[in-house]
Amino acid sequence: MSVIDLSALKGGLRELPPLSLYIHVPWCVKKCPYCDFNSHELKPAAGVIPVVAAPSLLAAGMDEMAYVEALLRDLEHGLPAVWGRPVSTIFMGGGTPSLLSAGAVDALLAGVRARVRLHPDAEITMEANPGTFEAEKFRGFREAGVNRLSIGIQSFQPHHLKTLGRIHDGDDARRAVDIALTHFDNVNLDLMYALPGQTLDEAMLDLDTALSHGITHLSAYHLTIEPNTLYAVRTPANLPDDELSADMQEAVEARLAEAGFEHYETSAFAKPGRQCRHNLNYWQFGDYLGIGAGAHGKVSNHEGVVRETRAKQPAAYLQTIAEGRPVQSRQAVGRADLPFEFMMNALRLTGGVESRLFTERTGLPLSSIRRELDAARADGLLDEDAAFIRPTLKGQRFLNDLLTLFLKEGDL
C-alpha cells in the first residue's frame, strides 16, 4: 500500500476529534427507484424461499457470518490509525442492516467491543425497514446492544409506498413502529415529502400519523432525483412543483415545532436531548471509521485529515478482505479543501457550530476564511458572533449557494 503524503496539509491538529464507527450492510430486499446508496438486491439461492416471504440474509441462503467476520477483519485493519481512541457512537446503515439475524448482530457488536474502547454510554443505531420487522428478532437486537432504531417509513399511505417501490404497506409501517417502541425508547422515523402526486394534506397526514406514535426523532426529506437511480432514467411526471414543495416543507417544520421538536439539522428534528449523536459527530466534522462494502471513513491525525473508501460490490469487498487490503483508496484532504469540507457538514446544523471547532477540526485559523465569512454575511446567508457560526434562515433555504462561497476556485 502506498504511503500517503500529508505534507500538502501544512497544518496540524492539536487535539483529535471524537471518533465514531460506521458499519455498512449493503443488501436490500428490493432496490428503491429513488435510492442512490450502495445497496444491492438479495438474489435467493436456488431452492430457497423468496426473500420477500421471509426477508433476511439467511432466508436468501447467504452466509451472513462470513460478512460479519469480514467486517471485524476490516476493523482490525483500521485500528492502527485510531489506536487507543474511544468510540462514542456506532451506526449500522445500508442497505438494510435489519436483514441480519439477531445472532449475527450480537456477534458483530461483541467483536467490536473486543477490538475498540467503546464508550459505556455509546449510542448504537441500526437502520431498519418495516418489511423486515419481527418482534422476537428486534428483541434480540436490543439484547445485543442496539439502543437506537432508525426506521425507513417514507410514507404510511399505500399508493405512495407503491410508487416509491417500497416492500411494505401502511399497516406494516404502523406495526413496525409499535414493535420498535416496545423494545427501544430511542426511535427515529424517516419520512419523505414532495412525492409523485402527493398533496399538502397527504404530506401532513403522514406526519401526523408518525407523531401519533409518540416518537422523539424524525427525519423529513424532500424527495430528490439523484443521478444513477431509476427515477433519474424515468422521472415521475407528476412531481409537486417548487411552490407546493416549499409549502410542504414549511408546513412540516411548523407542525413539528408545535409538537415540541427542535429543527436541529437540515432534515432532522428531535425532542430535547434526543438528537442523533452519531450524525452530530459527522456534522461537527468529527472522525469515523467506515467498514463494510462501499463504506467511507474520515480519520484525523496530528498532521491532518485522511479519507478512505472500501470496494462497493459485496463480492469485491469480501475479496479485498481475504487478500488483506480492505482500503480501496486513501487520500489526504488538502489545506485548500478543508474549509469547504468543514462547512459542508457544519452548516447543515441550523444552530451552527462553535467558531473554535473550525480550527480544532481543520488545523487552520479562522482568519483563513475571513473573506468567505464576510461575503456570506453580506449576502444574508450567515450569522457570526464571537462564539458561533450559523446559517440564517435564508442560508438554510439556499444552502448550496452558501457552501459555494467556500469552494476553492478550481472546483467552481
Domain that residue 107 falls in: 8-280
| pLDDT score of 107 | 98
Question: Residues 210, 143: one domain?
Answer: yes
Mark whether 180 and 31 lie in a shared domain: yes
**CB neighbour list of residue 55: distance below 8 Å, 6 or more residues apart:** 29, 99, 131, 132, 167
Q: Is the pLDDT of residue 196 over 80?
A: yes
Q: Is residue 331 part of a domain?
A: no
Model pTM? 0.93
If you search the block for the grid coordinates 456570506, which residue do you land on? 376
Name the residue among 180, 368, 147, 364 with its Cα closest to residue 274: 147
Does the pLDDT of residue 222 top 60, yes or no?
yes
- 89 vs 2, residue with greater confidence: 89
Do 92 and 224 sit in the same domain of this protein? Answer: yes
Residue 161 lies in a domain: yes
What percentage of the chain has pLDDT greater than the value 70?
93
Among 59-73, 110-124, 246-260, where is mean pLDDT lowest? Answer: 59-73
Domain membership of residue 107 (yes or no) is yes
Q: What is the pLDDT of residues 282-332, one digit of tens each?
A: 999 999 999 999 999 999 998 899 999 999 999 999 999 999 999 999 999
**Distances from the Cα of 410 to the Cαs of 124, 343, 404, in angstroms?**
39, 17, 12
Across 243-269, average pLDDT: 97
Distance CA 392, CA 399 (A): 10
In a domain? residue 233: yes
Q: Are 114 and 260 members of one domain?
A: yes
For residue 44, the domain's CATH number is 3.20.20.70
Report the C-alpha gap between 132 and 104 in whole angstroms. Answer: 15
For 338-390, write each residue's pLDDT tens digit: 999 999 999 999 999 999 999 999 999 999 999 999 999 999 999 999 899 99
Would 305 be classed as within a structural domain? no
Q: How many domains does the chain have?
A: 2
- Shared domain check, 47 and 125: yes
The per-residue pLDDT for 280 is 98
What is the pLDDT at residue 41? 87
Residue 2: pLDDT above 60?
Answer: no
Residue 59 located in a structural domain: yes
In three-state form (DSSP H/G/I as H, E/B as E, the rest C), the secondary structure along the chain is CCCCCCHHHCCCCCCCCCEEEEEEECEECCCCCCCCCCCEECCCCCCCCCCCCCCCCCCCCCCHHHHHHHHHHHHHHHHHHHCCCEEEEEEEEECCHHHCCHHHHHHHHHHHHHHCEEEEEEEEEEEECHHHCCHHHHHHHHHHCCCEEEEEEECCCHHHHHHCCCCCCHHHHHHHHHHHHHHCCCEEEEEEECCCCCCHHHHHHHHHHHHHCCCCEEEEEECCCCCCCHHHHCCCCCCCCHHHHHHHHHHHHHHHHHCCCEEEECCEEECCCCCCHHHHHHHCCCEEEEECCCCEEEEEECCEEEEEEECCCHHHHHHHHHCCCCEEEEEECCCCCHHHHHHHHHCCECCCEECHHHHHHHCCCHHHHHHHHHHHHHCCCEEECCCEEEECHHHHHCHHHHHHCCCCHHHC
CATH number, domain at 350? 1.10.10.920
Q: Is there a single domain that holds both residue 218 and residue 367?
A: no
Count other Cβ atoms within 10 Å, centred on residue 58. Answer: 17
- Are residues 267 and 365 both part of a single domain? no
| Mean of pLDDT values over 145-171 | 94
Cell of 284: 461537527
- Among the listed residues 184, 98, 165, the one whose alpha carbon sits nearest the alpha carbon of residue 133: 98
How does the average pLDDT of the chain come out, rounded?
92
Q: Can you name the residues that pair with 287 across neighbouring β-strands?
A: 19
Q: Please tell me whether residues 85 and 155 are part of one structural domain.
A: yes
Is 318 inside any structural domain?
A: no
- Cell numbers at 122, concatenated: 455509546
Whether residues 164 and 27 fall in one domain:
yes
Cα dist. 251→137, 200, 335 in Å?
36, 8, 41
Instruction: Say yes or no: 268 and 343 in one domain.
Output: no
Mention every residue, 6+ apart, whose C-beta is less than 8 A from residue 19.
82, 85, 86, 87, 88, 286, 287, 288, 289
Question: Can you give the pLDDT at residue 14?
Answer: 83
User: In this structure, are 211 and 358 located in the same domain?
Assistant: no
Residue keyed to cell 438528537: 275
Same domain, 21 and 143: yes
CA–CA dist 266, 136 (Å, integer): 35
Residue 324 lies in a domain: no
Of the residues 231, 261, 280, the one at which a domain ends: 280
Collect all residues with Cβ–Cβ distance below 8 Å to 299 and sequence separation of at least 6: 78, 81, 82, 287, 288, 289, 305, 306, 308
Please check whether residue 159 is in contact with residue 166, taking contact to mean a CB–CB distance below 8 angstroms.
no
Among 280, 310, 345, identify where a domain stops. 280
Domain end, chosen from 280, 295, 315, is at 280
